[in-house]
Amino acid sequence: MPNQKLVSSGGIYKGKTSMWLYIFHRVTGVALFGYLLLHIISTALILLGPEVYEGAEAIYKNFYFRVAEIGLFGAVLAHAINGLRIITVDLWRKGSDYQKQLNVISLVIFIGVFVPSTYKMVDSYFDLCLEKSSPGTTVTDCIVRPIPDWK
């Protein structure tokens, strides 16, 4: 095979974790593509002026969307780190000999980045919510109301 030198020469995926990660990569890929379409539409609303854009953005500023935002961040991060793992397995000559180690390293990097980021996103939500809302707003109000009283 003339092109053999371009790619990893070792073994191939044989089920178990690597295969579940293969499915995970497809699922998060399709989900992120779906979100990307929504994101382009809602971002393009800025062309209609500040009122329309900020009116649409206000919907995203309730707590339920903050939970979804953390999920989105996790999906992007996991897809990215898993993508780097796939590149390593496929293009590094010895990559496929170290699949187990690469799986563990990927998971450790994911947790190491995701946990502190999640903490920051939750913490900063309540800080800003209490700061921007009208006086007397409680943490419970920040969680339950569908649309915040600021834009």
Partner 1 sequence: MKTQRTDWGRRQPPLAGSSFELYAWFFMRVSGLLLVLLAVGHMFIMHVFNDTLNLDYEFVAARWIHLIGELLTGCF
Q: Which residues bind partner 1 (CB under 8 A)?
A: 1, 3-4, 6-7, 12-15, 18-19, 22-23, 46, 49-50, 53-54, 57, 60-61, 69, 72-73, 76-77, 80, 83-84, 86-87, 89-91, 117, 120-121, 124-125, 128-129, 132, 151
What minimum distance in Å lies between the beta carbon of 143 and partner 1? Answer: 14
Nearer to partner 1, 48 or 104 (CB): 48
Token pair, residue 16, equals 């178990």
Token pair, residue 73, equals 């961040």
Nearer to partner 1, 6 or 101 (CB): 6
